[in-house]
Amino acid sequence: MDSGGLARRWWVMSQESIFDEMWGREGSLRDPYRRFSGWLDGEDPKRLRAKQREAEDLFRLTGITFNVYGRAEAEERLIPFDIIPRIVSGAEWTRLSRGIEQRVRAINAFLFDIYHGQEIIKAGRLPLEMISRNEAFLPQMIGVSPPGGIYTHIVGIDLVRTGPDEFYVLEDNARTPSGVSYMLENRETMLQMFPELFARNRVQPVQTYPADLLRSLAACAPENTGANPTVAVLTPGIYNSAYFEHAFLADQMGIELVEGQDLRVVDGRVAMRTTRGYKAIDVLYRRVDDDFLDPLNFNPESALGVPGIMDVYRAGGITIANAPGTGIADDKAIYSYMPEIVEFYTGERPLLGNVPTWRCSEREALAYVLDHLDELVVKEVHGSGGYGMLIGPTSSKKELAAFRQKLIARPSNYIAQPTLSLSTVPIFSRAGLSPRHVDLRPFVLMSPDGIKITPGGLTRVALKKGSLVVNSSQGGGTKDTWVLED
Amino acid sequence: MLGKTANGLFWMYRYLERAENTSRLIETGQRIALTRLGASAEEWRSILETAGVYSGYASVHDTLSKEAAIDWMLRDPANPSSVLSSIAAARQNARMVRTALTHEVWEATNSAHMRAQELLSRKVGERDLPGVLGSIRQRAALVRGATHGTMLRNDIYDFARIGTFLERADNTARILDVKYYVLLPSVSAVGSTVDNVQWETILRAVSGRGGFRMEYGASAGPREIAQFLILDKRMPRSLAFCLGKIRDNLGYLDGDSGQRSPALAKLDHIETTYLSHDIDAVFDFGLHEFIQKMLTLLAEIGRQIEIDYRFYE
């Protein structure tokens, strides 16, 4: 980012107008919300409040919880659910999904290239040190070709909206994106509580996701696998924050949920210990990070992985989804090169925007960031979950000063972006409808058979007034996301 | 099925059964205390022993009191077999094997845990005790009902049943182990008040008073009680009944694989050697020795099942 001017324009623009997805400036209702609003007007707020509580009870009973790290062991919490859906028109969605598909194809091609010829570096479009000095780059993957050529079987693209046609990618999640169980359970809950809404609105279904996922994973099985590949989900265990989701997906797909201790390498295959002996696995949907996957090849301390699984993988004996080493594609420093990456591999202009990003490793960028710290969002390059980030405009002088020290000490650990004015969608609060900032994570499945994007995705909402942090670990909630059939 | 899943199912149902049995024991102890007959601290000691938690209790308490004993058995987190700990462990195992359970079973288990946490968040007073215990047993019954009504009759169900009946057999054997002396013919002065109370304790602890009266008459004595709890195949908590159920379920598992497991062979051996004679043979063998032997054999069966079905390795 060389021009401070662009960023300033952005900043000013975003301060002026917050885009609300339900109501326009003069309080006019936007089209996708028309029918919903008609229904809402006829509802007794008391009944809705009761429904809101009912939803929470339902979630608690189903056990849709996440574990909070750093608190008492296995403390399980609910992610707050808001009953007002976020509604997107079919036309909007079609445009969006084209952009998402383009981006996911580019990411997959980028990964193949990075672990093979590195043409993008030879072409001078990406500096070599972005790869060579990047801890997310996995040397063990050099020259390895995953079955079907697929690296990113499941991708979550985090999008934010700032205007009617303005969507930006905030983050690509190419490792093991989570949240899809909330997308499914939110819809299930809405269907149970407000069946009448779905009679009035033609909402595109999300319920096929588990079946689509299984089909997509099976299509990525190693070459000589029979007609019915054995697929399993690998979880770190019941204390993992997303354990509910791992169990949920395995259950919905009707496949085994395994832990590292259930697996071992037997006769050159990765096999699970059943009551009748060891059974080979063809495709492993792992929800364990690269580093913990194989104590022989990565972190030797890991008790969550399978010793030797990487050797089986390299020999073509198993499909690991997502492939090891995909983290390089969702690294926040690489993110700033995504427009180049998309163009390089697709030969097209990117359909989805990138948020302007300063790489603090660059001297000029750092100087700019330090000068404008109170306007910017600063993130750790490898961070996630909203931890370790600074939101300039809402931070105190003391917080800014402390962050400045961290930034100066390790500039290459950070990137900075303008504070986006995320769009708002109303939530149902004590005071009635109140606008809150949202983002959107659609889920994308990729296999040799093609790319499938579930219409909608997970809408996360910052429940605190004015807050821009939507992460569940930081007090965010979720909403059902509707894509209408136009 | 994964070995780990079989293990989780087995323990989920063992813990559920344990929660229920422990609450029944507390109720029995409380009932005796109320009738003021033999309501000594000693009685609570034998109740704690029956639940297998006396040594744990003694390691943190210097004296024996009714309140402390009830609290230890009901809700102390330091007691891994307290009602609350057992329900939490059952739910933890249920989470682990979530994919093997139906929605109904999971939700019943989860809500049993939520309810138990609520009811047992603080010390339970004497007045509330019957209601709390009743409510907990009701929740456990809901899980059992959901299991019965919604689970496929496959290996998942088999392991659930094996866990249930192994725990139940163990519980019945421990009741007999602690109280065997009141059933010995030599000590029983028929009709003495103390013995009547003791016999009643035993029958209450297995919810078997009504059934026993119906089948054996009101005046039946210790021999019949021993017969009822050890050999009577109509009594769902007797050793013979429980072991028969374990045998059936091990048989279904073997039927699936076409191989006879060492655990089933062991069980057959127990049934023919120890449970196919009449009660006189048991008394000839020595009631205490017999019960001790059964406890050892039950533990062996449990270990063998672990090995046969690769629970851990």
Instruction: Indicate the pTM of the whole model.
Output: 0.89
pLDDT score of B189? 52
Do residue B176 and residue B140 come from a single domain? no
Residue with tokens 């069980």: B267
- Nearest-angstrom CA–CA distance, B29 and B125: 15
Considering the domain boundaries, does residue A415 fall inside one?
Answer: no
pLDDT in tens, A130-149: 888 888 899 999 999 999 99
Q: What does the pLDDT look like over B114-143, one tens digit per residue?
A: 999 999 999 999 899 999 999 999 999 999
ipTM (interface predicted TM): 0.86
How confident is the model over B219-273, as pLDDT tens digits?
778 899 999 999 999 999 999 999 999 999 999 999 877 788 999 999 999 999 9
Task: Sort out which chain B residues have CB atoms less than 8 A from A66's CB and list them.
Answer: none
On whether any CB of chain B is under 8 Å from the CB of A75, the answer is: no
Looking at beta carbons, which residues of chain B come within 8 Å of A60? 114
Cβ(A309)–Cβ(A294) below 8 Å: yes
Chain A residue whose CA is closest to B2? A274
Measured between beta carbons, the chain A residues lying within 8 angstroms of B3 are 262, 273-275
Residues B145 and B249 in one domain: no
Rounded Cα–Cα distance for residues A108 and B127 (Å): 67
Q: Are residues B158 and B239 in the same domain?
A: yes
- Nearest chain A alpha carbon to B113: A61
Total domains, chain A: 1
A423-461 exposure pattern, b = at least 16 Cβ within 10 A, e = fewer: bbbbbbeeeebebbbbbbbbbbbbbeeebbbbbbbbbbb
For residue A232, the chain B residue with the least C-alpha distance is B2
- Per residue in B191-220, pLDDT tens? 566 667 788 888 988 999 899 999 998 777
Distance from CA of B108 to the nearest CA of A (A): 8
> Is B305 found in the same domain as B172?
yes
Asked if the structure places residue A252 within a domain, the reply is yes
Task: Check CB contact under 8 Å for B92 and A238.
Answer: yes
Q: Is residue A74 part of a domain?
A: yes
The answer to whether residues B146 and B197 belong to one domain is no
Best of A181, A188, A275 to substitute, by most chain B Cβ atoms within 10 angstroms, is: A275
Number of domains composing chain B: 2
B80 with B169, same domain: the answer is no
Verify whether the Cβ–Cβ distance A273 to B111 is below 8 Å.
no
Decide which of B151, B177, B192 is a domain's last residue.
B151
Do B217 and B106 share a structural domain?
A: no
Report yes or no on A285 lying in a domain: yes
Compute the half-sphere exposure of residue A235: CA atoms within 13 Å on the CB side of its CA.
Answer: 26
Contact B2 A275 (CB under 8 A): yes
A243 contacts on B by Cβ (under 8 Å):
95
Show which of B122, B151, B180 is a domain's final residue. Answer: B151
User: What per-residue confidence (pLDDT) applies to B185?
Assistant: 74
Do B310 and B212 lie in one domain? The reply is yes
- Ranges in chain A, pLDDT < 70: 1-16, 67-75, 383-386
Taking alpha carbons only, the member of A448, A217, A174, A218 closest to residue A325 is A174
A222: nearest Cα among A305, A284, A277, A142: A284
* A348 contacts A102 by C-beta, under 8 angstroms: yes
Instruction: Map residue A426 onto helix, strand or coil.
Output: strand
pLDDT averaged over every residue in chain B: 91
The verdict on a CB contact (< 8 Å) between A275 and B114 is no
On chain B, the residues whose CB falls within 8 A of the CB of A275 are 1-3, 6, 155, 253, 309-310
Binary contact (B4, A60; C-beta < 8 A): no
Kindly report each contact of residues B234-239 with a partner whose C-beta sits within 8 Å and lies 24 or more positions away, as own/partner.
B235/B206, B235/B208, B235/B211, B237/B168, B237/B171, B237/B172, B237/B206, B237/B207, B237/B208, B238/B172, B239/B169, B239/B172, B239/B173, B239/B275, B239/B294
Contact A307, A266 (CB under 8 A): no
Q: Determine, yes or no, domain membership for A38.
A: yes
Written as one string, the DSSP assignment of chain B is -BHHHHHHHHHHHHHHHHHHHHHHHHHHHHHHHHHTSS-SHHHHHHHHHHTT-HHHHHHH-SS--HHHHHHHHHT-TTSTTSHHHHHHHHHHHHHHTGGGS-HHHHHHHHHHHHHHHHHTSSPPPTTTHHHHHHHHHHHHHHHHHHHHHHS-SSHHHHHHHHHHHHHHHHHHHHHHHHHGGGG-TTT--TT-HHHHHHHHHHHHHTT-HHHHHHHH-TT--HHHHHHHHHT-TTSTTSHHHHHHHHHHHHHHHHHHHTS--HHHHHHHHHHHHHSSS-HHHHHHH-HHHHHHHHHHHHHHHHHHHHHHTTS--
State the nearest Cα–Cα gap between A251 and chain B, in angstroms.
Answer: 5
Same domain, B131 and B66: yes
Q: Domain boundary at B151, B180, B211, which?
A: B151
Considering the domain boundaries, does residue A251 fall inside one? Answer: yes
- State whether B2 and A273 contact (CB < 8 Å): yes
CB proximity A249 to B under 8 Å: no
Nearest-by-CA chain B residue for A274: B2
Element (H or E) spanning A279, and its range? strand A277-280
B161 and B116 inside one domain: no
A408 located within any domain: no
Residue A11's pLDDT is 42
The contacts of residue B131 (CB under 8 Å, 6+ apart) are none
**pLDDT confidence of residue B39:** 57
* B295 and B180 in a common domain: yes
How far out from the chain centre does Cα A208 lie? Answer: 19
Is the CB of residue B143 less than 8 Å from the CB of residue B105? yes
Q: What residues make up the domain containing B226?
A: 153-313
Task: Please report whether residue A240 resides in a domain.
Answer: yes
Helix axes B3-35, B193-205, angle to 10 degrees: 150
* Contact (CB<8Å) A60/B6: no
Domain range for A188 is 4-355+420-483
> B1 and A274 in contact by Cβ < 8 A?
yes
Between the alpha carbon of residue B155 and those of residues B5, B164, B251, B257, B258, the distances in Å are 10, 14, 11, 11, 14
**Cβ contacts of A133 within 8 Å, gap of 6 or more:** none
Question: What is the predicted pLDDT for the residue at A386?
Answer: 63
Evaluate whether B205 touches B229 at the Cβ level (below 8 Å). no
Domain co-membership, B142 together with B212: no
Contacts of B111 in chain A (CB under 8 A): 61
CB A433 within 8 A of CB A350: no
A273 touches chain B (CB under 8 A): yes
Contact status of A259 with chain B (Cβ, < 8 Å): yes
Contact list in A for residue B10 (CB cut-off 8 A) is none
